[in-house]
Structures are given as structure tokens and as C-alpha cells.
Chain A
Amino acid sequence: MSLIKFFSIIIISSLVFVDFCTGEEAYDAPKFDLKYSKLNNGLQVVVVPHRRAPFVVHMVWYRVGGMDDPVGKSGLSHFLEHLMFKGTKDYPDGMFSKLVARNGGRENAFTSADFTGYFQRISSAKLPLVMELEADRMTNLVLTNEVVSLERSVVLEERSARIDNSPKAKFFEELNKLFYSDHPYGVPIVGWRSDIEGLDREDVLNFYRKHYTPENAIVVIVGDIEPEKALDLARKYYQPIKPKNVQHKKIEYRIKQPTISRLELKSKRLSEATIVRFYPAPSYISGMSNIAPSLELLAEILGGNITSRLYRDLVVEKKLATSAGTFYNPVARELTKFGIYMSVLSGVDIKVAEQAFDNAIRLLLENGVTDLELNSAKKRLIQNFLYSLDSPTTIANIYGGALAVGMTPEDIDQWSLKIKNIQKTDIMRAANLVIDEKRSVTGILQPSTEYLR
């Protein structure tokens, strides 16, 4: 749970280290001794030293995620992520995890729509061990039908825990599907239940061979180590892996104009209503990526925290909501979404709430944002970014996530400057482009009035 939260925060607030300023004041310039290298086999390596404690974060990111699942085989990327812990010829039967644990390491893995990541945090002296293990499982995974079948049950339990047990999660799964239509972002990362039930060993291994290649991977090392030494180790363990030169077909995905633009559901397991609206929005590397920084600022001004417009308006002043805000993830391989939500205070008429919600959005488009709002949002985003200096894990996630979606270390270096240079007119151009009701999807989730014992 903590990990998910962590990710959503870093991805939402996004990227970078810098020494710039917003307006008047200059920031301390963190010296960031980053080393970047692309090995002969196409594998990218990023090393950032961080000296607080004597350990390293070692991550391998593959540029494959839920959006790459073949039609009818949703959940395949995520299923493979689980199975990657099962063993190889040299390290069979869960040896990977045993060795990591026995050497004082902690590990985990995650799958998003865009990428799949594996990580260990371990004493710096043990970096060669985890590199050897990760390099080994990049190509040597061994799976039996029995192992696949048992893990399928585990994933079905995971789906129950995350989605099927939660009316809110099920609602968002449906809303996402409606919004994205046949765009692959509309498919749940964990997979539809019936698809998961059909995934077999062959599906997994074919997918693995196609996508788990050095040219499709990024290794990130952050921690207490000399960058040159870490790079040497990366070359030693990862260089021998042969590239596969798999051609990945570039598909042009579009988010279609929705034919149905509204989803309303009720559940007796809810105590308050939620109103949410999705708009298609560019990411940093999809088309129109130059408006992504404006959208980050817009998201912050409108709903980034408790000083933002929606919270002040809907929660504090009008007393219609218990919370309200925005979400926008600009670090994505494809067109993504800009979202606005409010959690309606119990007892408030949903129509009244929705009117106020619409009104807040209309006021933004009519009147724009103020200098005060813009400067404050810039300061918050840039200073929040500086906090990542405090945490090796955060640094690793920032670089890994950005590179995995196709951004470069330079994109990260320039992020603060981009944010700093945004003007009010840029914000309004982005708002007018994205906040378009005709292309939006609205979801209304309400408690059913039925008596609950």
C-alpha cells in the first residue's frame, strides 16, 4: 500500500533536480553527480550517488506494462512480474528472494500501464550479487505449469483484494474502460478476471522473450557507491546479455470522442458520493508534450492541495465536499488523462454538488488563473521536487520512471526551468485545449439508500 501511494505521489508531482528559482529567490544548487551510459546491447544505466546510509537502491525497469498486454490477455505483464521471482536454472526455487533476504536486502516489484520495475535495497557491498541475479533472470526464467497455475491463484486473490472487494476500485475500473474505449490504457493492469484465468505458461514465456531484453531495460542505481564503480559493475553483469533486436510495432493510439459520456453507479458499501471527470491530456512525450508543464501547474492550482481552488471552494467555503482535487500523470508513454474529483459530503444533494463542481471548472475557463496562484504553484512544484534529494528511493523512481516512458536525463534536468517559464497565457491555452466537456467522461458513484445492516 505504501508503495502505491509513494508512486502516485512521485508521478503526480513529477520530476527533477535543479538549481533554479521561481521568480525572486535562488535555490541551493544540489550537486548531482549523475552518470548515464548506454551499453552496447542497448541497456541504459543511470547511477546517482547518495551518501546518507551505506546501501544502494538497485532497480531494473522494463519498458513494458499493462498497455502492452495482447487483446484478450489482460494482466499478462503483471502476471509475468509475479512469475519473475520463481527461478532460473542457476537460481531455482525462489533462490533469488532467499539470497536477497539472507544478505540483508529488501525487494519488491511493480507493474504500471507503461512499465514494469524490480528493485532491491541492499548493502552497497552486495550490489554485485543483485546485479548478477537480475541479469540472470532477464533471460533465463524457468517456469513449470504447476508454478504458473499456483501463481495465477495468487494474482486472482490480488485482483479480489485490490478491485473486486472495493466498490470504488470497480467503479474506476469501469470508468477507465469507458474513457479510453479501445485504447490499451482502458484495460486494468491486473487484468480482467476471465482473462487472468486463461493466461498460461506459453503466453507468459512468449511475452517474456519478446519484451525482457537489454534494449528494452533501464538499470538505475542510487546510493552509497562511486558512480564509476557502479557503471563498471553494470557493464560486467549486464553487457554479456545479447540484444534480441525485437521490432516493436509503433501503434498510433487515440482517445476517441466518447459515445457515452457518463457512468453512474450505486453501492450500499459506500457512505459518500464521488464525482469525477476525465479529460484526454498529453504526457511529456506524447504529442503536444509542450503543454504538459502547464497542465502540471494547472493541476496544482486547481487541486494540488488544501490551499488549491477546488478544496477552498467546495470543501471550505461551500461545505459540499469532504475533499476535492485533481490528478494528472504526465510521465506516460501515451496520451493520458487529466482528472478532477470531489467527494461529496454526506447529506448534500448530488445535483447541487455537481453544479458547484461544474461551476468551479467554468470559472477557471472564463477567468483564468491569477499571478499569485501561478507563482505559488511553481514554488510548490519545484520545492517539492527538491525533497527528492532526501531519498535514494525517490531519486531512483524519478529517473527510472522517466527513462522507462522514453524521456531522457536532460528532460529531467530541464524540468524546473520549464515549469519556471510557464506564463498565465500558457496555462489558459492548455486549459482551453484539455478542459473540453465534449471529450470528457463523468463518473458519479453514490451510496445506495438501501438499509445496510
Chain B
Amino acid sequence: MKVYSLLNIFILLTVFFLSVFSITTHAANVERVISPGGFEIWYVREKSIPVIALSIGFIGGSSSDPINKQGLTSLALNLLNEGAGDLDDKQFQKAVADKAIRMRFRSGRDFIRVSLQTLSKNREEAFRLFGLALTKPRFDLPAINRVRSQLLSDIAAQAKDPQTLASRRWYKAMFGNHPYSRSSIGTVNGLMSISRNDLQEFRNNRIGKSDIFIGASGNISVSEISALVDSALSGLPDGTNNSRIDISLPPSVDHLEIIDMEIPQSIAVFGLRSLTRDDPDFYAAYILNYILGGGGFTSRLYKEVRENRGLAYSVYSYLQSLNDVGLLVGGVATRNEAISESLSIIKHELSLLSNLGVTQGELDDAKQAITGGFALRFGTGLSVSEMLVSMQVQGLGIDYIQKRNDYINAVTLSDINSVARRLLSNTPLVTVIVGSPKGINRAN
């Protein structure tokens, strides 16, 4: 979890750009498998590579945490590899490390996503340990206290990190008191008030067989992956008591917030309510975002803010799909003296899109880029299994991989331009800046 964080600083490899890659496809052959134990698994067999990946999505993420115990999901997930069944923390971690088994447990707002990667030859042991972690975590007190203090330390560090702080405050501004405003890691008070009993409740009531989506890829047969999944997950409880989260109301007016921090470069996060994943116009919005700020070195924001004016290293936008809400979120970082110029340009670009739309040439280029790049999403076993879970979570259908480029290609110029108007005209824009920005009217 935290062990590797420092490495990023030591090995100072610099990259040209952090683009938000958003795309995928290759006509992978997806099989829908029902295991003898009753689990539905979407599976892609890849015989040539001796690695197995398993991904699982559970309905109910950090937004389901009780209001006074924010951080329950993150604490519980961070404890899953701290001892399970008969194995204490040290024994469990050694068993995992000796076979170089890779497990990840992450909480999002709506879903918990967990994954397992193993060399095929270690599969029995890997699935056994992974199953133990999910079904029989020990939640020993020393581990609870240690992991809690690590999370508290992360929270303290994040409060002083401009990027994380900007993002946190942006969600707060966008969602007010709705659970989506909370960050998955939790709060100091929430974490402090979580007991061992709460964690056991979490295990018994928050992840279960009824709320599960499974994707896998590997070089083993359908019957073998079924048996492995059964062996790992049969101990899960049948149902859960996750409650439905209320729909959140969008902000009614533009919102600008400045958080003062003594740093040379201001970090801004901006964005607005967009379309939900099941909206018929989703693909048009997707292409629109690609043209605006999703398309790496060719997007409008990249061109106007970075290439033509040298105002930023990083400027981007992306779509985020939550259960009942879609978001268009963007970011830019510019020296304090010029951040207002960057933000004016971005606002101008949003209004240009809304008023004039995109050109046929831009639409054609974007379609080619998006459809041509779909296959790149299937580079590793884990990326395949993650995609298979996302397809289920988002209700896309097992033939999505075959059909997805058709959905993109079906978008017309009039579709995308009407979506641009619908999305961008009169939709309140929420902006948060962390830094010492000059020339921003704070009265807004």
C-alpha cells in the first residue's frame, strides 16, 4: 500500500504527459460461465500466457458507510491481507509473497473492486488465500490499530497535497452533503470510531454473493476457473444489507472556491454534471469529451492551453460515471500569475463547444482514434478481467466488445452538437483552486 510510494520520487523518470486514456477493444471471445456453486463468471481464455487474473466488483462502496463511520470500507479492505483464517498477518503475507501473488482491494463510491493476479502454476494457493482474505479476514486488534494509523497518516498527508485537496473539495462542492461528497479513505473521526465489531459486521453484511460481478482471464479451462472461483468465494454470505443511496441534486449556480496554499503553481479542478452511463447520448458525450480534453496530445484544451500558450504541463478532462450521476471533470495546473488565464481559456472552450459544436473533421478523427484504440485496452490479463467486470457493472451486455465501436460510429454531427448544447449551456460549473492564484475574482 504505502511501501512503494517513495520510489516514485527516487526514480525521477519524467514523462511527457499524463494523458487520461479512456478507450478500448479487440474481439476477445467472452464466455459467460455459471460455476457449479452458482457464480456467474465472464471469462476470456488466453492459452499462450501463464498468468491468471480475476477481478470482482461488489455493489456498495464507501458511499454505503454509515455517516458516523466514514472510512469503514477503506479500513476493512486494507485489513483483508492482514491475516485470515488460521493464518496471522505474518503467515498470510509470507504465503502471498513467496508465490508472488498479487491482490488488490479498493473502494470506490459505488463499488468495491478487488483483484487477484497469479502465475498459473500457483493458482490453487492463490485462490485459496484470496478466498480466505475475502471470507475469513481476522481483523486482529494490532492490525486494526496499525492500519488505522496508516490511513490517518495518509489523510493528514492528503490534506497538504494540493492535487488531492482540490479534488476533495471539488466533490464536496459538487455533492454537498450527499455521500458522493465523501472521500473513500474516510475521515479522522469516522476511522477513530470504528470498532472490531463494525469490521465484522462489514464482512457479514456488506459483501455477498447476491451483489457480485466476476471477470477473469487465464490459460485454464472454463471448468477449472469455475472450480477455483467456487473454492475461493463459497464462504461469502448470500446477501447484503447495502442500502440504496439517494439521488443527489445538482448545484444550481456556478461555484468557485479558492483554498490558499503557499505553492508556486495553482492546481485547479473544474467540472459539471454530465450524462449517466445509460443515457442514449452517452457515446456522443464520450466523443465530445475526447475532443475537448480526453484525447491526449490532440484535444482542444491541450492545444489552446498547453501548445499554443505554454500555460500548463497538464490539462485534461474525463467523464466519470457514478450510479445515478455522470460527471465531466477536468484539471489544469498553472503558475499562480497565469491560472486565471488558463481558466478563462477553458471556459471559453466550453462555451465554443456549446455554441458552435465540433466540426465533421474533428468528429471523424475522434471516431477513428477511439475505435482504433479500443484493442489497446486488452493488453494484460488484468485489464481484460477489469473490463469484464465493468461491462457487468454498467449493464453493457456480453457482446459489448463486439458492438462498442458500432456505438461510437453511429454518433452523428448533429447528435454530438446537440449533446454539447445540452451538457454545456447553462450547466453550473464547479471550480476549485488550490494555491496562491492571482487575478481571480474571489467574490464569485
Which A residues fall within an 8 A CB radius of B?
A: 1-5, 7-9, 11-12, 27-28, 30, 51-55, 66, 78, 81-82, 85, 94, 97-98, 101-113, 121-123, 126, 149-158, 160-162, 164-165, 168-169, 172, 188-190, 269-272, 274, 276, 303, 305-307, 311-312, 315-316, 319, 322-325, 327, 329, 339, 341, 343, 345-346, 376, 379-380, 383-384, 386-387, 389-393, 452
Contacts and interface: CB of A to CB of B under 8 A. Distances in A.
A359 to B, nearest CB: 20
A379 B95 CA distance: 12
Interface of B is mostly: mixed
B399 interface: no
A122 B26 CA distance: 12
A151 B306 CA distance: 8
Contacts of A151: 310
Interface string B146-171: 10011011001101101000000000
A12 B379 contact: no
Given A52-B380, A98-B365, A106-B21, 18 more contacts: A4-B13, A8-B4, A11-B11, A52-B48, A102-B365, A103-B372, A105-B373, A108-B17, A153-B309, A157-B310, A157-B334, A157-B335, A161-B314, A306-B1, A322-B150, A323-B150, A345-B153, A386-B119
Contact of A4 (B8, B90, B333): B8
Nearest to B26: A53
Interface in B241-284: 261-265, 267
Interface string B350-387: 00000000000000010011111111101111101000
A126 B372 CA distance: 10
Contacts of B378: 52-53
B49 A8 contact: no
A274 B94 CA distance: 26
B53 to A, nearest CB: 8
A306 B162 CA distance: 28
Nearest to B52: A390
Contacts of B334: 157
B11 A380 contact: no
Interface of B: 1-19, 21, 26, 28, 46, 48-51, 53, 89-90, 93-94, 97-100, 102, 117, 119-122, 146, 149-150, 152-153, 156-157, 159-160, 162, 261-265, 267, 295-298, 306-314, 333-335, 365, 368-376, 378-382, 384
Contacts of B1: 306
Contact of B264 (A165, A169, A307): A165
Contacts of A168: 9
B51 A55 contact: no
A101 B296 contact: yes
A106 to B, nearest CB: 6
29 contacts: A1-B8, A4-B13, A5-B4, A27-B121, A52-B381, A94-B298, A94-B307, A97-B297, A98-B365, A102-B369, A107-B297, A108-B16, A108-B17, A111-B14, A112-B13, A122-B376, A153-B309, A153-B310, A158-B314, A160-B333, A271-B159, A343-B153, A345-B153, A376-B97, A380-B97, A390-B381, A390-B382, A391-B380, A393-B379
Contact of B117 (A3, A158, A341, A387): A387
A380 B99 CA distance: 7
Contact of B100 (A189, A306, A379): A379
Nearest to A114: B13
B414 to A, nearest CB: 22
Contacts of A276: 6
Contacts of A315: 146
A97 B297 CA distance: 6
Contacts of A339: 10
Contacts of B7: 5, 8-9, 12, 327
Contacts of A169: 9
